[in-house]
Structure 1
């Protein structure tokens, strides 16, 4: 039954900044290199210039911060200003996973949740069964690092 559950994880961090300020940061994919331990740059592609539903970008990734680098195509799948910014990773014919940020106002700040969700294909489920625990911990550490670095910027 464990193979039928959603595959993913999330990390939340409270930031002493408005949802508008946090939104401007999490939805600007060109700044991800400042924060992520794995994605060291990204750029809008195919005519996209900013966050909107259907916009495309490419992320330049170095898995676990080591090894070869590679570019991954991404498409914005949810774009609700000051609330949710989500994108799929993969091609139009095959999505591998989804990443996103949920923002929730909290007094004079914002609780930011970064999350990932793998697509439930058979190969992905097999991967998650074999390596999910390790990869999940790595992703959670990376998300925490990303959010802590973002918090430093928005609270400065």
Structure 2
């Protein structure tokens, strides 16, 4: 696989299973992810599993858009990943959370790969209001990991 277009990691003083539960649960994800507003499982899916699909509603300031994602990795306490397509089924991105248990909790790495075809990028940039998606995703990942850390550590008690 190619290098991600944005990535960051953080140490979390909470078990890997707690972090996995947050990133693989749609309401949990909406509590911590920077642009993800909410999601709905599709086709009878009720939880994260390889092949499960969900519709995500995303927002940035006043702009909102919808995508569809397919779960590609669902290894509790280890990895959660999904591939995103636009409403026209054009590839958009891959998002991946790798979770590694440590003595004090876990280390979480969030990465994304921009999958948009070159001709589609100007359209999505205009629609989302983002000129530099890699830079925006880098900031979003850093914020998301900070929020994930805070929520997971608070849940630990």
Q: Fold conserved (TM > 0.5)?
A: yes
**SS, match of residue 123 in structure 1:** coil
Tell me, which stretches of 5 or more residues in structure 2 are unaligned?
124-129
**SS, match of residue 48 in structure 1:** coil
Tell me, which stretches of 5 or more residues in structure 1 are unaligned?
none
Distance change (3 Å), C-alpha of 1:120 and 1:89: closer
2:7 is the alignment partner of 1:10: yes
Runs of 4+ in 1 over 4 A off after TM superposition: 124-127
Q: 1:106 aligns with which of 85, 98, 102?
A: 102
For the aligned residues, what is the CA RMSD?
2.4
Structure 2 equivalent of residue 77 of structure 1:
72
Query: Per-residue deviation at 1:113?
Result: 0.6
Structure 1 equivalent of residue 50 of structure 2:
53
2:137 is the alignment partner of 1:142: no
Deviations 1:35-85 (A, max 9, x none): 1221111121121100100001111011xx224312111100111121110
**SS, match of residue 37 in structure 1:** coil
TM-score by length of 2: 0.81
TM-score by length of 1: 0.82
Query: Per-residue deviation at 1:94?
Result: 3.5
Query: Per-residue deviation at 1:7?
Result: 5.0
